[in-house]
Amino acid sequence: MLNRRKLLGWATAGGVVGGAALLPSALTREPIAAEHAGHAPAAGSAAGGGRPAAGLGVLFSQRLPIPQQLTPMRRGDGVDVYKIPIKAAQHAFLPGKPAPVRSFGGQFVGPTIRARTGTPVEVTFTNQLDVPSNVHLHGGHNAQADDGYPMDLLDPGQSRTYHYPNRQQGATLWYHDHAHHLEAENVYRGLHGFYILDDEAERGLNLPSGQYDVPIMLRDIQLDANGAMVYPNFPPDRTTILANGVVNPYFQVAARKYRFRLLNTSNERQFRLTLGGVQMTQIASDGGLLPAPVPRSEVLLGSAERVDIVVDFSQVPLGSHLVLKDISGPLLRFDVTRLALDSSRVPATLRPLPAPGTATVQREITMRFDETNFTGLVNEQVYDPNRVDIKVKRGATEIWTVRNTDTVFGAPHSFHLHLEQFRVLDRNGGPPGPDDVGRKDTVFLGPGEWVRLQTTFTDYVGRYVYHCHFLDHSTLGMMAQMEIVP
């Protein structure tokens, strides 16, 4: 049951992770002895700095697993067809300690679907759990029937086929549960996976690809002494960080350029990522490539946000390791173990970002908690699937001013719009921040912050939601509904 202590715990968690208490942390870059280059440190050591997560394991003792990339069951009539069960499974967050999870396809980080712009995909999900589920392709431009509408539940034993036309530019998307009142628990327990959309224009840029294009899912969790997840819990207790589902892994890399697709699937956390002073070059955000690469010394990654970065490991000595960290400590170690040819590049121009159209409608959106009954509110109302909060004319270009008015609890929020990508026009009356660039579908808002967003509702009609993507908050009603009308 929700109570004041629980809500204050959530607010505290967000405030520490997303607020001024988060200062950049220096990262180590130390040489590895030649005979140990590329290998995990011996038991009990903490090479690379930092500490084991909550005393539960040894730093960098296991390899970074790469989520399985699915092959279509068939390719017919120009459509790639997949089948994925939603099922209970076992997963070892720590070596030798398997624990129960909810999964797509039996994997805690669900299998990756690698799609192509212009080639439709059909995915049939079958719910083998004992609780309802559904699937939302986050960042996808899809008809209402295929959006993962929160009330379109997939009950135990049922199957449903989602149709994704992929009529959008290449981007790092992801799919996750969106069953209302269950979304926070289902995603926390493992219902999340990558959906990577490639397009020909991007392929022609010769960015790092193949084995050098690596998806990395970051998130937090609370584990007990046996290595099993704890739920329900308080967000401040989620002190263990996972990279692709395991604690503090290492990843062997060649001395060349890599593209890392970073995704934050935490229920409510913002990461401040740094790489020991080594430059990260951002090339994409939620909705795909930026107009031009942006050098970054640190990256803020809120819940549900994505950032694609390129790291050139040829710029550090062979035998070095670099540790990706945030304020919570080390997350992942890169071991530079070998030489490799590298014909990839990061061109000075990536993809033009057309000027936004002329907006004809302006709206105000607020998000906060009700301090009396501890529900989540959007424009002072709890989510009601039978209520349409706003009607949007198909084809309209609109500007939304989205405000976090949660100054009583000091809780941060993360705004997500279904169906369309948007542009951040300004933040708190000033220019957009470095983490607001490009096409976005999710944006972080600290207490009292506000942003102006502009988007065009291009073609589909129907009902879609917009909500706080701190899923603990949307579960409590911090969600609203728009109807796109002809």
Distance CA 453, CA 322 (A): 36
Instruction: Give the end-to-end CA distance of the chain in Å, rounded to a whole number.
Output: 42
Mean pLDDT of the chain: 90
Distance CA 318, CA 327 (A): 27
The tokens for 236 are: 């401040």
Distance CA 109, CA 82 (A): 17
Residue range 391-448, pLDDT digits in tens: 999 999 999 999 999 988 899 999 999 999 999 999 999 999 999 999 999 999 999 9
What sign results for the dihedral spanned by CA atoms 27, 23, 295, 333?
A: positive
List of residues 6+ apart from 296 with CB closer than 8 A: 279, 280, 281, 282, 309, 434
pLDDT score for 356: 87
When pLDDT is averaged across residues 299-306 and rounded to a whole number, the result is 98
Residue range 207-264, pLDDT digits in tens: 999 999 999 999 999 999 999 999 999 999 999 999 999 999 999 999 999 999 999 9
Distance CA 38, CA 323 (A): 13
pLDDT band at 58 (very low <50, low <70, confident <90, very high): confident
pLDDT band at 1 (very low <50, low <70, confident <90, very high): very low
pLDDT band at 31 (very low <50, low <70, confident <90, very high): very low
What percent of the chain is predicted at pLDDT more than 70?
88
The tokens for 95 are: 């070596």
Say yes or no to pLDDT of 16 above 70.
no
pLDDT score for 56: 52
3 state SS of 321? strand
Say yes or no to pLDDT of 52 above 70.
no
Residue range 448-459, pLDDT digits in tens: 999 999 999 999
